[in-house]
Amino acid sequence: MADTLIRQGGATRFTQAVASLGANTGNGTRLAELTPPGQINLRGRPSDPRFVRTVGAVLGCVLPLNANTVTSAAEVTVLWLGPDEWLLVTPAGEETALIARLREALGDIHAAVTDVTGNRTRLRLSGPGARETLMKGCSLDLHPRGFRPGQCAQTLLARGGIILHQIDDAPTYDIYPRRSFSEYTWMWLSDAVAEYQR
């Protein structure tokens, strides 16, 4: 019998070595690596009402059609990546069933559904110093008037590409670096957040 695969994020060996950073210390700003979620890349024509309607019915939420917006249902979060591209984030292990449901429902509709679970890991930065930590290495305007809960963006953090998703007003951010940049991103964030954890 084959061994069971245990998913680990790309920064796991670093997060285990400095697990104290995940503790709620100082002013309450936290950095943690989350269990790697299922991730699906969805491509299709937003101008095709059949595509939009079918995907919405399968996901249980409206497909975000406005730039840099996010929608969600009980088991999936949908991040807008481009005019015809979305990232679907599911609980770990749920992506295969969702891919099958999407492919079956879409049938002959022009679309692509691809499992990209191994592409990115997910870090979470939250608390009073989270926004200021990100501003040290991100050129986006993260002021609450410009970047709010329910928004996402593809951008650079220091020298690594990420997808940034603001979850709430705490503020809490999910950060999706490519797996090959996850250790670098973790180490950069660990250093940048240190002043807010005293």
Helices (H), 107-152: 130-135
Task: Write down the pTM of the prediction.
Answer: 0.88
Query: What separation in angstroms does the CA of 7 have from each of 4, 24, 38, 188?
Result: 10, 25, 10, 23
Summarised one tens digit per residue, pLDDT across range 19-38 is 434 445 467 899 999 999 99
pLDDT at 41 over 70: yes
Handedness of CA 146, 152, 157, 161 (dihedral sign): negative
Q: Domains of the chain: which residue ranges?
A: 12-35+119-196, 38-115
In CATH terms, 38-115 corresponds, of 3.40.190.10, 3.30.70.1520, 3.40.50.261, 3.40.50.970, to 3.30.70.1520
Alpha-carbon distance 107 to 118, whole Å?
A: 26
- pLDDT of 51: 99
| CATH superfamily, domain at 12-35+119-196 | Probable tRNA modification gtpase trme; domain 1 (3.30.1360.120)
Position of tokens 């084959």?
A: 2
Summarised one tens digit per residue, pLDDT across range 69-120 is 999 999 999 999 999 999 999 999 999 999 999 999 999 999 999 999 999 9
Q: Write the burial class of residue 167 (CB in 10 Å: 0-12 exposed, 13-18 middle, 19+ buried).
A: middle
**Residues 6 or more apart from 3 whose CB is under 8 A from it?**
none
Alpha-carbon distance 196 to 194, whole Å?
A: 5
SS3 74: coil
